[in-house]
Structure 1
């Protein structure tokens, strides 16, 4: 069965890998990213019914307009994946500037809430659909010098589990820890050691099947992609 999948942060890393794998498996993908160049390349590579939009998820008005356009031309998503996120440059909390802290919170938490606000009502009306909010190992534990990122992902865990209690039968909201993957984000956090962790290519082979198999009985259950 072909699913309609809406995903944020599709320009690179895990978001791009998931997008390409979902399409390879025959599903329809609608996505967004802040990079206009990356969005242009995706639209050139993948024709309709796939469609990609240049969008900053921190703008509630722009997310609303995007969701309105998508929902006017499609059914509600079968799978909604909130993947877009930032990590702070490692530093003690007191050395992280207000602007960097605010931007991270705006993308990681408010961006997720904006997408939920404008897509989930249509999913509720249909009484079906799975919402996956990307968390992190740092949403269930902590490390020094990544306090803003930890705070944002702990927030995603709480937000998702609370959302799960609000959904009708037939739906699910799941906080997903992708594991430790060698991405640009990991390069920022781990430096040269990042190359020792799971590649994106290997990760996506496990992550996408897990996402596609999620069901209403998984509602509120914190999950982790197997290493």
Structure 2
């Protein structure tokens, strides 16, 4: 990309850490300008100090409908034509079985992973359609396809992401707007499990001990590849696991 070529714009939610931070940095290295959105502003300001005017840090809670609409309406004119939307903001809370779970954990996951993703997409998709170009990358999970004990509502929210992505593709045919669902498996070096286990560092460490999980940079690499493809190519979904992870056997209980 030379200096005379307009720098594409990516909006990344949940950009303060983990996948979002790695994806933002990868886009910046690839010559994008990045609207880095998250609830915590200091990590975004740090990103701006590192990359300068190529970063527009914004405070955003994706669960807040008014905040999402306000972001769309308040973007400076030079930042409004978003080329890539990365719906990354999301979380898991708890790993208890359904009958033992805290409903507030369920509500938080639904509000963030489902409602928040839908709100941001609804706000920025019409602009892409009007410009006849754009790419929506939703960060899903293999948990949306493969069940496991304790994955109850988290897995269900990621199943929503998968089906929503497919349905967007059906609606967007002929518009020039592409949609991809990136579905990671086990990933370490993020705050994901620390949040899920509510700050329990020992339990979090045990989750990844000796497992050689994926890293945030691996998912950023996947996202960057999807975004680099020519406009006539749409990756509907891409599932990414570490080599140490595979499909679980079906569980059978036996009399003792």
TM-score (norm 2): 0.80
- 1:176 matches 2:190: no
Query: 1:68 pairs with 56, 65, 73, which one?
Result: 73
More helix per residue: 1 or 2?
1
For 2:155 and 2:60, the matched residues in 1 are separated by 25
Partner-residue secondary structure (3-state), 1:173: strand
**Residue by residue, what CA displacement relative to the aligned partner does 1:48-87 show, whole Å, maximum 9, x if unpaired?**
1311111100011101111122263334211110000010
**Residue by residue, what CA displacement relative to the aligned partner does 1:192-211 show, whole Å, maximum 9, x if unpaired?**
13142334265156324323
- Out of 40-49 and 172-181, give the one that drifted further: 40-49
Cα drift, residue 96 of structure 1: 1.8
Gap regions ≥5 residues in structure 1:
none
Q: What count of residue pairs does the alignment treat as equivalent?
A: 227
Contact 1:139 1:153 in 2 (8 A): yes
Query: 1:185 pairs with 182, 189, 192, which one?
Result: 192
Query: 1:34 pairs with 13, 35, 39, which one?
Result: 39
Partner-residue secondary structure (3-state), 1:32: strand
Q: Which residue of 2 aligns with 1:106?
A: 111
TM-score (norm 1): 0.90
For 1:115 and 1:205, the matched residues in 2 are separated by 20
Query: 1:221 pairs with 236, 240, 246, which one?
Result: 236
Contact 2:26 2:221 in 1 (8 A): no
For the aligned residues, what is the CA RMSD? 2.2
Q: Which residue of 2 aligns with 1:153?
A: 158
